[in-house]
Structure 1
Amino acid sequence: MKQNHANSPLQTKARDREPTFAIVSRLAATGGVSAVDFGQDIGVPLARVLRGDAKTLDEIAAITGIESSALGRWTPLPEGKTKREINGHLFPVRPTLTSEVRGCPSCLQDDVQQSALSAHRAMTFRSHWLVHHVTLCIRHKRPLETLWKEAAPSLRYDTAAQFANIADRIIADDAPFERRDPTPFEIWFDQRLSGQPHETTWLDDHPLHAAAVFCRLLGIALLKLHDLRLSDLRPGSEWACYHLGFETARHGEEAILKELRRLNQLAEPRLGPKAVFPVLYDRLSREHVEDTDFAVYREVLARHLMESWPLGPGDDLLGTPVTERKLHSVRTAANETGIDIRRLRKMLEAANMIDAGLPDNWAVFDAKNAKTMMDSLLTFVSAKQFYEMHHIGRSQFNLLVEDGIVQPSLQDATTKYIWDPRKGRDLVYRLLVGGEIIQQAQHGWETIGKATQRLQLRPGEIIKAIWDGRIQLVARNVQFEGYASIHVYHDEVAQVLAKEQPSAMSLEMFAKTVGIANPVYLNRLVQHGYVSTSEMRNPRTKILQRYIATKDASTFHEQFITLRILARTKGQTWQSLARQLRNAGVSTFNIDGIDFGPVYLKTEVEAALAD
């Protein structure tokens, strides 16, 4: 039978924003025992209390006389494996339930002064202190401080016991602190979290955590408009980023787009969005790409990029490779066609196709609508003009001509103006479709010209290997333009084409090429007989080694596929493809519980993604 606690000292009331684990700890302190021992005594282990399931809350409600709904309001309730719900709002587990517990010493001092109980029993733990977006006590205008650090959850959330350890320090604390008024963001966030009436904003229509994250990311980006970087802020001053982003985002999409357009003016488009708003772009295109709570912010940023950025092959749109140019800028159009930039601008302005107030880099127009006009302005150019406008070195250009990669558009002409500038543009586009973007050449990346010199190859060999899929790792270096921006990965080119190398790839290089990040997974596939290898002598060390020869690679590609290969083939992000496969019930290849990494059976993937 259950013990009747109706007249026991375990009857209590929930305090301000107090989570269930703090209530249990407070009751444990009444009997002078730990929360773990108390949980065993009442038949409700603390581990279950920390999980916060409905059954446990009902049991605690029966013991304490507090309604289950009241207990659950400020208790971090589980929502799947990665989120917790606090008062109806979802937050990620990792930053919420960390080993570092923060709070407001002034609140705790008030608790002691207003109670006849011993200090550690009088102090109240407030659940909003767990939320990492909260950095200020609005009541006392005091920054939150670390109260204690504890790795073990059973000790960390035995709050009364922890209060006993710090009570003397808290009571005696009269050190001055930097008082500051709460920002509009902090007031809005606290009111939304607690369910209080608040000033209506555009952000109210969207989940609280995602809205707060977006405010911070946007604020970090907007620091540039004040000639500041995140590293310029003092430790503990990130609240300023939330404030800066909130002051714009609260007014909605048009206000956000206006500020993003201002940011455009601080960089060149060829450097890519990461050069303008690196943290905002990275988080929305990668970290939060699968979280539907962030979809509205991704849509706003995507709209901005599609309306104001001259994106073309070699760029990406929030992680999705761009395969076709939608917008030209005056600069990109002039660079790719050889049309005099001043003449082109005058024609575009006369046709009302560009904003006359924008510089050449950012004055964009619809590439398709302007095609007829641009074709009428285009003239054939000399060989020198051709290789210079597409940033091809003279010697490299001559080799490309000899290899049949580029050819004049007019034969047997009496003029030297026989080269169509569009052919150079098409060459660059074709090589960059589905490629990566790098900020500088490092970790093995080099130009095609450099690779041909080091490996004694012809540029045509490398280019044809890219076109037929034997070379997978291709990138656009944002520091350069045109052909000079195209980079390949040296080790891959060497193992695919170099004459002094075996006509095969090392297991490590093959794993990198197909998108298996850790070679351990490929080794497992080999060890269990799912992938074949060929024994060949390393020409440098003369030692026999296992390689992935052409026939071995063909066998792999017939049976398996990876997200890297799939993304390049489909022109989609690997994140979106992973989500599609997951929704279709397709999981990575796994036999008898053995993890073979991010490898899928090709037949399952093709069936799941079939039109």
Structure 2
Amino acid sequence: MASAPILIQMKNTTIYQNLVWVLCLAKCYDQPVVNPSPYDIWLDERLATGVDPTWLRDFSLYAATTICGLLGAELLKANPDASKTQIARHRLALLSGFEVLRNGEGAFREALARLAARADGPLDEAGKAFGNLFDRLSRDLLFDEAFAPFRQILRECILSHWPYAVGDTLLGERVNERRLHSVVTAARETGVWDAVLDAILTDAGAFSPDDPRARSRKTFIAKDYASILTEIPTWVGPGEMLAAMGTTKAAFASLLAGGLLVPRTRAPKVIARRRPLPRPGRGGPCADTCRPASQHQAKTAPYDR
């Protein structure tokens, strides 16, 4: 192989001379001649003059080049090229990450959102979506202040796509507010079976009826449905309603047919679908609503058979 400098347009500075000497000792200096990429030219100019017209000018060179490589490597996983050498793949990763980050914070956020969207499996978490980028920022770079802005942007992306609970720790910070619920996390908190809760939330407009996502990935804004999640474990079925109203099944059926009793949900196979009424002469709610949420499972057999 022909001996060629890493950057064709290198300036004759001490830092480059030292770098070349180290590479020679490591026996990795002999490489095919390549044209400098936009990343190479940017790095060369910044090292030589300190000039940086990109968004990365606000970051240390160490942080900027590290994030370029980490982000680029994850982006390239969508279209891996096994024919390229390890060095060629690394150069391409640096270029791919740089082409995103040079355009600013918005471009970085968009790239992270694309990575998050690719991780659509039922068990895919942030570590799967962001790979080594997440691992490095959550471990050995966790307390490096040079990477704090990148950590914060990644953290915001994760909280916008995965249902972290209050008290969870994400990238070194405690989660103080739940932003998202999934069907699974909401079912766990309410004590309602996830299949039943999925149907109720779909009827309430949280999801489209043909949403193909797994229940662990079907997420919704927690505060938008907080009231219904609080209410669901207190719903009662026809037996409790009859007792509370002191009426007969025939009279109750007439009220249903006349549309005078409107259920809280029209999701199929949910028996307990109505708010409780006070029992006659007791002035309190139906006894069934006194159960803890963890003990109150939404009933799933049709009651109007």
Common fold by TM > 0.5:
yes
Looking at structure 2, the residues matched to 329 and 421 of structure 1 have their Cα atoms a distance apart, in angstroms, of: 18
Q: 1:148 matched to which residue of 2?
A: 25
3-state DSSP of counterpart to 1:365: strand
The structure carrying a bigger strand percent of its residues is 1
Q: Contact conserved, 1:224 with 1:263, CA < 8 A, in 2? A: no
Please say if 1:242 is aligned against 2:94.
yes
Query: Residue 152 of structure 2 aligns with which residue?
Result: 299
Quote the residue 1:127 is aligned against: 15
Q: Which residue of structure 2 aligns with residue 194 of structure 1?
A: 48
Distance 2:221 2:104 in 1: 26
- Residues 332-347 of structure 1 aligned to structure 2 (within 5 Å): 332-334=185-187, 336=189, 337-338=192-193, 339-347=196-204
Question: 1:224, CA displacement in angstroms?
Answer: 2.6
1:279 positional shift: 1.0
Residues 1:368 and 2:219 aligned together: no
CA contact (8 A) 1:330 1:363 kept: yes
Supply the distance in 1 between the matched residues of 2:14 and 2:178 (Cα, whole angstroms).
53
Alpha-carbon distance change, 329 to 127 in structure 1, aligned in 2, over 3 angstroms: same
Q: Deviations over 1:475-504 (max 9, x none)?
A: xxxxxxxxxxxxxxxxxxxxxxxxxxxxxx
SS in 1 for 2:25: strand
Confirm or deny that 1:204 pairs with 2:92. Answer: no
CA distance in 1, matches of 2:95, 2:227: 48
Give 1:361 deviation, angstroms: 4.6
Write the letter of the residue equivalent to 1:293: A
Q: Which amino acid letter does the alignment assign opposite residue 258 of structure 1?
A: E
Q: CA deviation at 1:242?
A: 0.8
Distance 2:55 2:295 in 1: 45
Indicate whether 1:317 and 2:170 are aligned: yes
Q: 1:260 to 1:274 in 2, by over 3 A?
A: same
Secondary structure in structure 2 of the residue aligned to 1:282: helix
Name the count of aligned residue pairs. Answer: 234
- Structure with the greater alpha carbon radius of gyration: 1
Match of 1:257 in 2: 109
Structure 1 position 234, deviation (Å) = 2.4
CA pair 127-269 structure 1, distance change in 2 beyond 3 A: farther
Distance 2:224 2:167 in 1: 22
**C-alpha offsets along residues 261-280 of structure 1, whole Å, 9 cap, x if unaligned?**
22223334754311211211
Partners of 2:142 and 2:296 in 1: how far apart? 36
Q: Which residue identity lines up with residue 420 of structure 1 in the other structure? A: A
Counterpart secondary structure, 2:160: helix
Q: Distance in 1 between matches of 2:296 and 2:174?
A: 21
CA contact (8 A) 1:185 1:242 kept: yes
Contact 1:330 1:345 in 2 (8 A): no
Q: Is the 8 A contact 2:67 2:97 kept in 1?
A: yes
Amino acid at match of 2:200: R
- 1:422 is displaced (CA, Å) by 7.9
CA contact (8 A) 2:68 2:98 kept: yes
> What aligned pairs does 1:160-199 form with structure 2 within 5 A after superposition?
178-195=32-49
The residue type paired with residue 311 of structure 1 is: Y
Please report how far the alpha carbon of residue 130 of structure 1 lies from its aligned counterpart in structure 2 after TM superposition: 4.8
C-alpha change, 1:276 and 1:259, in structure 2 (3 Å) is same
The whole-number CA distance in structure 2 between the counterparts of 1:358 and 1:277 is 23
Please state how far the C-alpha of 1:297 moved relative to its aligned partner: 0.6
Report the Cα distance in structure 1 between the residues aligned to 2:153 and 2:176, rounded to whole angstroms.
21
Specify the SS of the correspondent of 2:24.
Answer: strand
In 2, distance between residues paired with 1:285 and 1:218?
A: 14
Shift of 1:320: 3.7
Work out whether residues 380 and 420 of structure 1, in 8 Å CA contact, stay in contact via their aligned partners in 2.
no
One-letter code of the match for 2:197?
A: D
Question: 1:287 corresponds to which letter in structure 2?
Answer: D
| Map of 1:280 onto structure 2 | 133
Going from structure 1 to structure 2, the CA distance change for 1:145 and 1:310 (only over 3 Å counts) comes to: same
- Quick one: which amino acid aligns to residue 186 of structure 2? A
1:418 offset after TM fit, Å?
Answer: 6.0
Q: Secondary structure at the match of 1:328?
A: strand
What RMSD in Å do the two structures reach over aligned CA positions?
4.3
Counterpart position of 1:420: 293
Cα separation, 2, equivalents of 1:357 and 1:204: 43
